[in-house]
Amino acid sequence: MGNAGKLKEKVIKLFAPSLLLIFTFAVYMPSSLYLSNINEFAVDYSKIVLTILAIAVIAWLAIYIIGLLIFNQRAFDSYVLLISGIALGFYVQGNFLNPAFNSLNGKNIDWSAYRINGIISAAAWILCIVVPQIVYIIKKNVIELAVRWGSFLLTAMQVVSLVVIILTTHKTVINDFAVTKNGEFELSSKNNTVMFVVDTLDSSWFEDMVLTDKDYKDNLKDFTYFKDAVAGGSPTVLGIPTILTGKIDYNAQQEYEDFYKEAYGESNLFSDMKDENYQVKLYTEYYYLDHCDKDNVDNLKMEQEYVITSKEGFYKCLYKLVSFYAMPQFLKQHFWLYTGDFSNYISIRDQSSNMYGLDDAQFYEDYKNKGITLQNDKNTFVMYHLNGSHGPYVMGDDAKRVPENSVGVDSQTRGVFKIISEYMQELKDKGIYDNTTIIITADHGGVDLYQNPAILVKNKNVHQDEITVDNSKVTFTNLNATIAASCLKDAAAYGDNLYQIGDRDVVRFHVAPNDLTQNVWKDDLAAKTQLWSLIVIPADARATDIGRFRLIHYDEYEDVVKQYNLNN
User: Pick from 98, 87, 37, 39: which is nearest to 60 by CA?
Assistant: 87
Q: Are 246 and 481 in contact (CB under 8 A)?
A: yes
Q: In the predicted model, is pLDDT for residue 481 greater than 70?
A: yes
Residue 149 makes CB contacts below 8 A (sequence gap 6+) with 16
Note the residue count of the chain. 568
CA 353/CA 178 separation, integer angstroms: 9
Specify the pLDDT at position 393. 95
Q: What is the CA 519 to chain-centroid distance, rounded?
A: 19
Q: In the predicted model, is pLDDT for residue 353 greater than 80?
A: no
Q: What is the CA 549 to chain-centroid distance, rounded?
A: 25
> Other C-beta atoms within 10 Å of 251: how many?
17
Q: In the predicted model, is pLDDT for residue 470 greater than 70?
A: yes
Whether the ω angle into residue 235 lies within 30 degrees of 0, i.e. cis, is yes
CA distances in angstroms from 361 to 185, 397, 418, listed in the order given: 16, 11, 11
Per residue in 259-300, pLDDT (tens digit) is: 999 999 999 999 999 999 999 999 999 989 999 999 999 999
Tell me if residue 456 falls in helix, strand or coil: strand
CA distances in angstroms from 555 to 211, 234, 253, 533, listed in the order given: 43, 22, 11, 12
CA 76/CA 67 separation, integer angstroms: 7
Specify the pLDDT at position 238. 96
Residue 424 makes CB contacts below 8 A (sequence gap 6+) with 219, 433, 438
Specify the pLDDT at position 104. 67
Q: Are 451 and 543 in contact (CB under 8 A)?
A: yes
Q: In the predicted model, is pLDDT for residue 207 greater than 60?
A: yes
CA 15/CA 155 separation, integer angstroms: 12
Phi, psi of 234 (to 5 degrees): -150, 155
Identify residue 392 by its one-letter amino acid code: P
Q: Are 61 and 41 in contact (CB under 8 A)?
A: no
Q: Are 309 and 345 in contact (CB under 8 A)?
A: yes
CA 313/CA 320 separation, integer angstroms: 10
Specify the pLDDT at position 4. 77
Specify the pLDDT at position 2. 61
Task: Output b/e per residue, 288-314; b: 16+ Cβ within 10 A.
Answer: bbbbbbbebbbbbbeebebebeeeeeb
436-441 vs 346-348, strand pairing mode: unpaired
Give Dmax (Cα) for the chain.
95
Q: Name the pLDDT band for 339 (thresholds 50, 70, 90).
A: confident
Alpha helices in 249-301 (DSSP H): 256-266, 269-275
Region 497-522: what's the mean pLDDT?
96
Q: In the predicted model, is pLDDT for residue 437 greater than 80?
A: yes
CA 528/CA 515 separation, integer angstroms: 7
User: Pick from 429, 448, 447, 428: which is nearest to 438 by CA?
Assistant: 428
Q: In the predicted model, is pLDDT for residue 66 greater than 60?
A: yes
Specify the pLDDT at position 560. 94
| Higher-confidence position of 567 and 541 | 541
Q: Name the pLDDT band for 257 (thresholds 50, 70, 90).
A: confident
Specify the pLDDT at position 180. 95
Q: Are 446 and 108 in contact (CB under 8 A)?
A: no
Residue 404 makes CB contacts below 8 A (sequence gap 6+) with 392, 393, 394
Specify the pLDDT at position 538. 97
CA 59/CA 115 separation, integer angstroms: 32
Q: In the predicted model, is pLDDT for residue 103 greater than 80?
A: no
Q: In the predicted model, is pLDDT for residue 559 greater than 90?
A: yes
Q: In the predicted model, is pLDDT for residue 1 greater than 90?
A: no
Specify the pLDDT at position 131. 95
Region 234-243: what's the mean pLDDT?
97
User: Pick from 34, 28, 58: which is nearest to 46 by CA?
Assistant: 34
Q: What is the pTM of this model?
A: 0.92
Phi, psi of 402 (to 5 degrees): -135, 165
Alpha helices in 210-347 (DSSP H): 214-219, 236-245, 256-266, 269-275, 311-326
**SS3 sequence of 92-103:** HHHHHHCCCCCC
Q: Name the pLDDT band for 102 (thresholds 50, 70, 90).
A: low
Residue 562 makes CB contacts below 8 A (sequence gap 6+) with none
Determine what percent of the chain is predicted with pLDDT higher than 90: 88
Specify the pLDDT at position 545. 98
Residue 43 makes CB contacts below 8 A (sequence gap 6+) with 306, 307, 308, 346
Residue 341 makes CB contacts below 8 A (sequence gap 6+) with 317
Q: Name the pLDDT band for 107 (thresholds 50, 70, 90).
A: confident
Q: What is the mean pLDDT of the chain?
A: 94
CA distances in angstroms from 371 to 34, 378, 387, listed in the order given: 39, 19, 20
Q: What is the CA 281 to chain-centroid distance, rounded?
A: 22
Phi, psi of 501 (to 5 degrees): -80, -40
Region 237-254: what's the mean pLDDT?
96
Tell me if residue 321 falls in helix, strand or coil: helix
CA 273/CA 295 separation, integer angstroms: 12
Q: In the predicted model, is pLDDT for residue 429 greater than 70?
A: yes
Per residue in 11-41, pLDDT (tens digit) is: 999 999 999 999 999 999 999 999 998 988 9
Q: Name the pLDDT band for 351 (thresholds 50, 70, 90).
A: confident
Tell me if residue 171 falls in helix, strand or coil: coil
User: Pick from 273, 322, 319: which is nearest to 295 by CA?
Assistant: 273
Backbone CA torsion sign across 249, 253, 259, 263: negative
